[in-house]
Structure 1
Amino acid sequence: MDLAPKQSDVADSSALKSTAESRLKNFMKEVTGRALVMMESATQSQHGIATDLVQEAFISLHKSYADKSTEEWYPLFYTILNNKLQDWRRKEARRAQPFSFFRKVTLDDEDLELNDVIDESTPNPFDFIDRAVTADEIKAAISQLPARQQQAFMLRAWEGFDTHTTAEIMNCSEGSVKTHYHRAIQGLRTSLAHLNPNMGGSSE
């Protein structure tokens, strides 16, 4: 029995690999900029670390999910990226506190969920502030938010994921996403209020 692969099978496999690589290149072009902004905010403007996290997420995506559709890649990519960010943060926390392995590392202290928080289905980062405030000013303010608030805001307002998908990416409940997003908006309004005297500090 001839166990050698047929020529057509080899050609099909090569074509599929080429197609996946082409799709990945297009996908990377589309999301790299936004992903870097998110990671730079989360790592306190450490561009090298942010770039490494994004690149590692792309490698893992292609290695494990090359056969998925491009639409499926979006939440998968950000889930992978979030996991790599959390791994990096844990390492940094342990490096800063050498004996922290004797206790649970707490990365965020805002896990209590608020009740009846309204989370719009299609948020826009400019909807809750004056249009005169620039994107750079918003990004600078975002970098001052706690990490989970940053993630919730960027995934919801900048990437446009719904609450359910954002919760899956962040590995938390939908209520937590609403809480983090709600508090992020409060924090941004407060930190940007000095740029516009008419901007209120309340999120209501």
Structure 2
Amino acid sequence: MATEKELSQFLKDVEKRAFKRALYHVRDEEAALDIVQDSMLKLSHHYGDKPPAELPMLFQRILSNCTLDWFRRQKTRNAVFSRMSDFEPEGDDGMDFDLLESYAGNGDEQTVQSAEEHTQRLQTLQSIEKEVQELPARQREAFLMRYWEEMDVAETAAAMGCSEGSVKTHCFRAIQTLSKALKAKGIQL
């Protein structure tokens, strides 16, 4: 059973990655914040008494469901008002992109980067982030859970509500697509 302190620490640890994941899907900062907040409230209210080890998988599933609910509401709203929503991504407000922290460096490196190296690294990170956003939704979801959230195949399958084989297929295709797109841009990781 998770204590209030453990639950609070878990939510604090996951909030930035959850926001980025929601933002990838909905491409609207305010909606992404609402989705993450709703997910956190649902986890706290319905599953706050679960063991701490179960919280990551439960939260990922709740976040996925809240994101799908948002899309359903958008679809209904669009049908009622018969107009398309604007899904254009907003600019980057300088937020960290945790998925790529290891590539970007953690800030306490012994060597000092030149301005050119730093700019090149930032441009590479932006290219990678853009390519991740362009992945099909299920591939992006599987990729982010497996390689960003560091969930294993079984946990990812449970969170996504699909088979382990589907998770492996989605991840393989995502990696293939990202590799080809980045190679075409001259980016070697």
More helix per residue: 1 or 2? 2
What SS class does the counterpart of residue 196 from structure 1 fall into?
Answer: coil
Quote the Cα distance in structure 1 between the aligned partners of 2:188 and 2:32.
35
Corresponding position of 1:21: 4
Identical-pair percentage? 37
Matched, 1:179 2:162: no
Corresponding position of 1:141: 131
Residue 31 of structure 1, aligned match among 9, 14, 34: 14
Q: Is the 8 A contact 1:41 1:139 kept in 2?
A: no
Corresponding position of 2:47: 65
| Count of residue pairs brought into register by the alignment | 153
Quote the Cα distance in structure 1 between the aligned partners of 2:76 and 2:183.
36
Task: Return 187-196 or 32-41, whichever deviates more.
Answer: 187-196
- Structure 1 counterpart of 2:7, which letter? L
- Structure 1 counterpart of 2:67, which letter? L
Q: Is the 8 A contact 1:57 1:81 kept in 2?
A: yes
Distance 1:139 1:197, change over 3 A: closer
Give structure 1 stretches of 5+ with no counterpart.
1-15, 99-124, 200-204
Corresponding position of 1:40: 23
Corresponding position of 1:54: 36
Quote the Cα distance in structure 2 between the aligned partners of 1:197 and 1:163.
28
Alignment TM-score, normalising by the size of structure 1: 0.66
- Structure 1 counterpart of 2:55, which letter? W
Give structure 2 stretches of 5+ with no counterpart.
81-98, 106-120
What SS class does the counterpart of residue 134 from structure 2 fall into?
Answer: coil
Deviations 1:70-118 (A, max 9, x none): 22100011111111111112222344455xxxxxxxxxxxxxxxxxxxx
Q: Is the 8 A contact 1:79 1:170 kept in 2?
A: yes
Corresponding position of 2:94: none
Quote the Cα distance in structure 2 between the aligned partners of 1:81 and 1:75.
10
Corresponding position of 1:114: none
Quote the Cα distance in structure 2 between the aligned partners of 1:136 and 1:37.
14
Alignment TM-score, normalising by the size of structure 2: 0.71
Quote the Cα distance in structure 2 between the aligned partners of 1:20 and 1:134.
41
Matched, 1:79 2:69: no
Quote the Cα distance in structure 2 between the aligned partners of 1:135 and 1:60.
33
Quote the Cα distance in structure 1 between the aligned partners of 2:128 and 2:134.
10
- Structure 1 counterpart of 2:167, which letter? V
What SS class does the counterpart of residue 143 from structure 1 fall into?
Answer: helix
Q: Is the 8 A contact 2:24 2:133 kept in 1?
A: yes
